[in-house]
Amino acid sequence: MWKTLHSISEAKKIIEEFKPDIVVGTGGYICVPVGIAAKRKQVPIVLHESNAFPGIAIKMLSKKANTILLGFEDARPRIPNAKKIVVTGTPTKVKQLDISIDKKEQILKDFKLKQDLPIALFFGGSQGAQSINESLIQIISEQKNTNYQIIWAAGPAQYEVVKQKLKECNKDIENLKNVKIVPYIYNMEEIMNIVDLIICRSGAMTITEVSNVGKPAIFIPFPFATENHQEYNARVLEKVNAAKIILDKNLNANLLNDMVENMVKDKTNLQNMGKNAKSISIPDVEERIYREIKELVH
């Protein structure tokens, strides 16, 4: 707390020297001293909150900010003291693509997967997610996924662990039926566009990407996220019937496998859920943010 208060004067010196036209904050503890310093120097402040449940820094600065930009409409009633709120969405490079049949065939061939079985994409962020990984290991080792295929980004830190655990179950990670496991997916935009269902955590960026590509999802919110904001994010898509939620404490291989199987066998419902996800996607996010910043600068 003392360091944060001391940082206000430090930030004030930087602002006096740099003379910014505007200060833009995206949450996190560093925003508080910088925002307070900017207010004292009468520099306009724009805040961007990407989560459906606003963080402490955004709430603390809500009265001081000239404009608050939101990733989701659901966050609006949770910032009652804001002067001006604009829902702009959250910037992300993942968009909906028109993948050709030939391109999709080549991707599936590279992954040694079939054309005629639904594909579920699993990932837990760049570092993986242990609870999701443990459930998947059981699903794969017991060969439960007979009616769907799996693309699984296990995470660079977890890949070798997963490989070893599958080996203990007499499974070779390079030769699994209906399954492709990789440490990391570098062409995530393409993969998200060709799969039938996405299973993952529910950070704000992930929710935005899922809605942008228009895919149905099963979200397993990270239970230790600040103020449980990942569950609030997941509820945004659940509310429009675009996603289902499994709380981490309830997650197990049987529940996860049953939910995936029940969803992929109903293609019409999957398509409708994907359309529902796309319905909350906001186009031209960067342009909307730029417009608000430019208005304040002028």
Q: Could you give the CA distance from residue 290 to residue 284 in angstroms, rounded to a whole number?
A: 10
Q: What is the dihedral of CA 180, 184, 188, 191, to 10 degrees?
A: 0
| Percent of the chain scoring above 70 in pLDDT | 99
* Type of residue numbered 90: T
pLDDT band at 191 (very low <50, low <70, confident <90, very high): very high
pLDDT of residue 128: 58
What structural domains and CATH numbers belong to the chain?
Answer: 2-89+283-297 (3.40.50.2000), 101-279 (3.40.50.2000)
- What does the block give as tokens for 181? 């496991």
pLDDT of residue 127: 55
Residue 178 pLDDT > 90: yes
Rounded to two decimals, the pTM is: 0.94
pLDDT digits (tens, 9 = 90+) for 47-59: 999 999 999 999 9
For all residues of the chain together, what is the average pLDDT? 95
pLDDT of residue 2: 87
Residue 212 pLDDT > 60: yes
Among residues 129, 152, 101, 103, the alpha carbon closest in space to that of 260 is found at 152
- Measured in whole angstroms, how far is the alpha carbon of residue 121 from the centre of its chain? 14
- What does the block give as tokens for 249? 């404490």
- Report how far apart, in Å, the C-alpha atoms of 243 and of each of 189, 206, 238, 270, 277 are: 19, 13, 5, 10, 8
pLDDT of residue 1: 81
Residue 177 pLDDT > 90: yes
pLDDT digits (tens, 9 = 90+) for 102-122: 999 999 999 999 999 999 999
pLDDT band at 125 (very low <50, low <70, confident <90, very high): low
pLDDT band at 4 (very low <50, low <70, confident <90, very high): confident
Contact 94, 187 (CB under 8 A): no
Residue 235 pLDDT > 80: yes
Coil, strand, or helix at residue 18?
A: helix
- What does the block give as tokens for 100? 């050709």
pLDDT band at 276 (very low <50, low <70, confident <90, very high): very high
pLDDT of residue 298: 82
Q: How many residues are present in the chain?
A: 298
